[in-house]
Amino acid sequence: MDDKKYATLEQEISPKPPLFQNIIRAFLTGGMICLVGQFIAVFYMTFFDFTERTASNPTVATMIFIAMLLTGFGQYRKIAQFGGAGAAVPITGFGNAVVSASIEHKSEGYVLGVGGNMFKLAGSVILFGVASAFAVALIKTILVKFGVVSW
């Protein structure tokens, strides 16, 4: 049997990812995480001296803290298996990537293990996040310069 024939057979038999179900689950999971985030933001604005703009920093920190606990107690991967991209895309997914790598490499010590591998997965998120932020900022700067939009 040649490669092409086998690829056809393999695709016929291998179960397809349930696309519609995955999308719904991702929507619900991602939405739920954002809803919790919104509650936390409102909490900071109501009980502390934060505005809508400044509340985002403590909110993000709190969300990452919750993701850290869930990862440590082995729950985040279960949420992710259910929610897919809905659990990966929000900031909690970033937290999970950092914390899971740290837990994993603790056995190799704090410097070479945790320190050296903490950003193993999240490193590319940071790199491409910064790079794309630069590109977007550049475009906006040019548009503002020509008076198309304002800051």
Partner 1 sequence: MVKKGIMTFQTTPSIASTGVTAGPLERKSPFNEQFDKVYEDERSDLTTNEQGHAKMIEDASMIALSKIDATPSDADYLLIGDLVNQMTPSNFCASSLQIPYLGMFAACATSVSSLLMGALLTESNLSTCALAGAGSQHNAIERQFRYPVEYGSQKPKTAQWTATAAGIAVVTPFKAGVPKITKGTVGRVIDLGTTDPLNMGAAMAPAAMDTLQRHLKGHRTKESDYDLIMTGDLGETGFTIFKELATRQELDISSNARDAGEEFYGKDPKFLAGASGAGCSSAVYFSYVYNEMMKGTYNKVLLIATGSLLSPLSYQQGETIPCIAHAVELTMK
Q: Are 68 and 99 in contact (CB under 8 A)?
A: yes
99 binds partner 1 (CB under 8 A): yes
1 binds partner 1 (CB under 8 A): yes
Helix 76-83, helix 19-47: angle, nearest 10 = 130
Task: Give the pair of three-digit tokens for residue 69.
Answer: 């606990």
Q: Are 100 and 117 in contact (CB under 8 A)?
A: no
90 binds partner 1 (CB under 8 A): no
72 binds partner 1 (CB under 8 A): yes
Measure the CA–CA gap between 57 and 125, rounded to whole angstroms. 19
Closest distance of CB 12 from partner 1, Å? 9
Measure the CA–CA gap between 5 and 25, rounded to whole angstroms. 34
Looking at 32-40, 53-61, 90-98, 129-137, which segment touches partner 1 (CB under 8 A)?
Answer: 90-98
Closest distance of CB 87 from partner 1, Å? 5
147 binds partner 1 (CB under 8 A): no
Looking at 37-45, 98-106, 129-137, 142-150, which segment touches partner 1 (CB under 8 A)?
Answer: 98-106
Rg (CA), the chain: 21
33 binds partner 1 (CB under 8 A): no
Measure the CA–CA gap between 41 and 147, rounded to whole angstroms. 33
Instruction: Name the E strands within 67-141.
Output: none
- Residues lying near partner 1 in the complex (CB under 8 A) are found at 1-3, 6-7, 9-10, 13-15, 17, 22, 71-72, 74, 76-77, 79-81, 83-85, 87-88, 93, 96-97, 99-101, 103-105, 107, 120-121
